[in-house]
Amino acid sequence: MVILGIDVGGSGIKGFPVNIETGELLDDRFRLPTPEKAKPNDVAETVASVVKHFDWNGPVGVGFPGVVRAGTLYTAANIHQSWIGTNAEKLFSETTGCPVFVINDADAAGVAEMKFGVGQERSKGVVIMITIGTGLGTALFIDGRLVPNTELGHIEIRGKDAESRASDAVRQKKDLSWEEWGGRFNEYLNRMENLFWPDLFILGGGGSKVWPKFSPYIHVKADVVPAKLLNQAGIVGAALYAGMRSNSQS
């Protein structure tokens, strides 16, 4: 089965069709900038443009930066606050003319990594996926089962949200060296380890591509590995989620 996966990020909205049985990408990634202020109707129109680019008329999965329950947004991270209370599934479905299923973006990335990535061999124990980008997204798995909407990028470190100290956006904004930023990210992992004692951390998002540059500064007891699907995991996972949802409704 082929599903169109889309990832809505703070800076870009991108997608491609995915074979959800194999995880294979069936076309080149298409990306458009996230509209300024990222208000609901503007984002919906951009999502529709991605759908139109692929001449798509089937199910669509969308990974979204916020807590999602039954298609409705309860938080809005790095997007406009008017998303809170918005039924994103209804809005996207009306705008695209396709059945759309929405999942938290980090949860989507984790679902993909657990099925097709490094998590395939780690179905037992506690696994935490962390997406490193504009913010810090997280997905928590216990014996392979997702605990949705954990939002652990917002735990407090030194009186601030963790992502306001250790996201990739902060590294770039403050022009931190890899050693400086690696120390901050290591502090975040240590806090997570003290709370959850995971067996494995999987690092995704844009930060997964530069793992060799900051890995020397990471010192925790759990295994730490970059995502196999790198920055594409969220798109693949969104497609997987849409496949599960559409099958359950048929």
124 and 217, same domain (yes or no): yes
Q: What is the rounded CA–CA span in Å between residue 129 and residue 113?
A: 8
User: Is 112 inside any structural domain?
Assistant: no
Average confidence (pLDDT) over 202-206 = 89
Asked whether residue 84 falls in the same domain as residue 132, the answer is no
User: What is the per-residue burial (b if ≥16 Cβ within 10 Å, else e) of 130-152?
Assistant: bbbbbbbbbbbbeeeebebbbbb
Instruction: Extract the tokens encoding 92.
Output: 């996207």
Residues 152 and 138 in one domain: yes
18-31: per-residue pLDDT in tens?
Answer: 999 999 899 999 99
The residue range of the domain holding 156 is 118-227
Total domains present in the chain: 2
Domain of residue 222, CATH code? 3.30.420.40
Mean pLDDT estimate for the chain: 94
Q: Domain check: are 144 and 206 in the same one?
A: yes
Question: Lowest-pLDDT range, 13-17, 49-53, 228-232?
Answer: 228-232
Smallest CA-to-CA distance from 132 within 97, 101, 162 is with 162
Residues 133 and 215 in one domain: yes
Does residue 113 fall inside a structural domain?
no
Q: Express as a percent the part of the chain with pLDDT over 90.
A: 87
pLDDT reported for residue 250:
57
Do the Cβ atoms of 220 and 186 come closer than 8 Å?
yes
Asked if 100 and 164 sit in the same domain, the reply is no
d(CA 26, CA 9): 21
> What's the pLDDT tens digit per position in 138-186?
999 999 999 999 999 999 999 999 999 999 999 999 999 999 999 999 9
In a domain, 14, yes or no: yes
pLDDT for the residue numbered 231: 79
pTM: 0.91
